Amino acid sequence: VKSVLCRRTYFQCVHKYVSPLLSEKENLSEFGACYTPHGHGHNYTLDAYVEGQVDSVTGMVINLRDLDLALREAVQILDHKHLNFEVAAFKECIPTTENIAAFLYSSLKKTLQNYPVTLNRIRLYESEDLWVDYFE
């Protein structure tokens, strides 16, 4: 039997929206309140969907301890960070929800490589009324 398991986790960070390809006026027009010198922050919620065979002995697709470790490894690169200033991937790429989701998908896929599940997709909430689904 195959099963898709989802684990939710949380992290907090800061971002600001500014493009070096746009003038100050264009940045302000495009990004409004998100174009600020120091940025603003969110409580992000990450849902990671993994799929695999249900182990006939343990009844699980993956031990939750392992899944939590893999998630923590992927999330800690961003947690309690100012994305624009402290995370290499967002030095030249605006940390929108779309881009953070793509980054987390790719990180998590790597950290899950040694586990018996594959990453099905992720959902990243910036707030209760805005989120991104990312999958391949």
Task: Determine whether 80 is an active site residue.
Answer: yes
Position 89 contacts a second copy (CB under 8 A): no
Catalytic option among 6, 30, 34, 73: 34
Rounded to 10 degrees, the C-alpha dihedral 54/64/122/82 comes to -170
Closest C-alpha to 109, from 118, 97, 100: 118
∠ Cα 13 16 19 (to 5°): 140
Position 86 contacts a second copy (CB under 8 A): yes
- Which residues of the chain form contacts with a second copy (CB under 8 A)? 1, 3-10, 12-15, 17, 19, 21-22, 30-34, 36-43, 49, 54, 57-61, 63-65, 79-82, 85-86, 93-99, 101-102, 127-134
Would you name the residues annotated as active-site residues?
34, 80, 126
